[in-house]
Chains A and B, each alone.
Chain A
Amino acid sequence: MQHMSPEQQPLYSNPTQLPEDSDTRTRDFHRKIEQLPKELAQIWLSRYEDLEDDEDAFFDDFDKFLHNRKLALSNTLEIHDDANKSIREEILAMHESIKNAFGDSNYFLGNGRTAEVYTLPIAPHLCVKYIKDQDAYNENNHMRIEYDFLNQLHAFETNDVRTPHPYFIRIHPSEGHSYGMERISGENLSRILERPTDNLELIKMLKGVDRDTVEKNLIAYIRALHDNFGITHNDLFQRNIMVDTDGRFYIVDFGKAKQQEIGDDHEQFRNSDIALITSEIRHFFQSIDKIDIS
């Protein structure tokens, strides 16, 4: 008989001891439960035992959980089997670089409430966003959804406004999720105001731009997100607007973004986006006016 670790011990001494009147979905559920780690299996068994009605909805949830778990595990490390040894070593080194950059102050670029961004040591023109507070982040979109928004928008640019190009996503249940993207040669508006002495060149450039045109261009971009892609951003504070040294603007952080589905009414989200970005950009330039760089 094949040896099994304690975690692999079946929950039932005999899987065939299920009630005789079990229907197909119930039997299927119990069969799949046997494949899960013990702790996970017990959680689902408890939920099943507490179930009062609507078994179908429960089984749908369970199937969805299994699907997402399979995706997460399959993306942990994706190396083609037939890649030669030196390429495999390069790919593994890249994974180590992503893993080790998180928390290293030498590579820190910026942070938000739930995530931090670091440059990638092995490729300094890229940056990686990591979740730092999983519980708080869970209130937002899953990283995979946030990354999908960037992918949808990667080729879209209007009047020198766009999102950073997305490069890769790394779903890693134990080390944490992260995604890599283009590193913008600039700064977010909030940080420019917080650290003016570190951003004198950007401030000098911003004092010379036509702010009405900047506001118009940013609003046009957000309206295009709404109208062409059905996306509302819902977090258009100064920290999520970046500017580079050439005066191009970027909308970042789609952690609170929503995709309009058929039947949804996003009118309120759309109006909030426009009101917020208008207010934030006007306040930003008022603050820029007060900074003396002479």
Chain B
Amino acid sequence: MRISDHILTEAKKLLTEGMMLPAQITSAPHFYVAEPTDQKIHAFTVVKHGDKNYKIGTLKQG
């Protein structure tokens, strides 16, 4: 599965800017970039920034 480039690009930008996580992806408002341990976010993929993987995903239901 491939996540749209516009989501990956914005996620990397948010991480580079040091935004507080989870941070909403404005071009895909249902998606967030989050800490790998964030249990509120259901991962669709991961993005690497520095030496660390971050989740890209949507809010968990219920």
Contact = CB atoms under 8 A, between A and B. Distances in A.
A40 interface: no
Interface string B25-59: 00111110000100000111110100001010111
Interface string A143-174: 00000000100110000000001111111000
A125 B30 contact: yes
B43 A151 contact: no
Given A87-B46, A94-B42, A168 B30 contact: no
A95 interface: yes
B53 A94 contact: no
A77 B44 CA distance: 11
Nearest to B30: A125
Which interface class (under 10, 10 to 19, 20 to 34, 35 or more) fits A? 20 to 34
Contact of B46 (A80, A98, A155, A169): A80
Interface string A104-126: 00000000000000000011111
Contacts, number: 85
A155 B6 contact: yes
Nearest to A95: B1
Interface residues of B, number: 25
B4 A80 contact: no
Interface in B1-41: 1-7, 27-31, 36
B2 A90 contact: no
B32 to A, nearest CB: 11
A126 B6 CA distance: 16
A83 B7 CA distance: 18
A182 interface: yes
Given A75-B1, A83-B53, A170-B1, A165 B45 contact: no
B48 A80 contact: yes
Interface string A212-225: 00000000000000
Interface string A258-277: 00000000000000000000
Given A123-B58, A124-B61, A168 B42 contact: no
Interface of A: 75, 77-80, 82-84, 87, 90-91, 93-95, 98, 122-126, 151, 154-155, 165-171, 182
Interface of B: 1-7, 27-31, 36, 42-46, 48, 53, 55, 57-59, 61
24 contacts: A79-B45, A80-B46, A80-B48, A80-B53, A83-B43, A83-B46, A84-B53, A87-B36, A87-B43, A87-B55, A93-B42, A94-B42, A95-B1, A122-B61, A123-B30, A123-B58, A123-B61, A124-B61, A151-B5, A165-B27, A167-B7, A170-B1, A182-B29, A182-B30
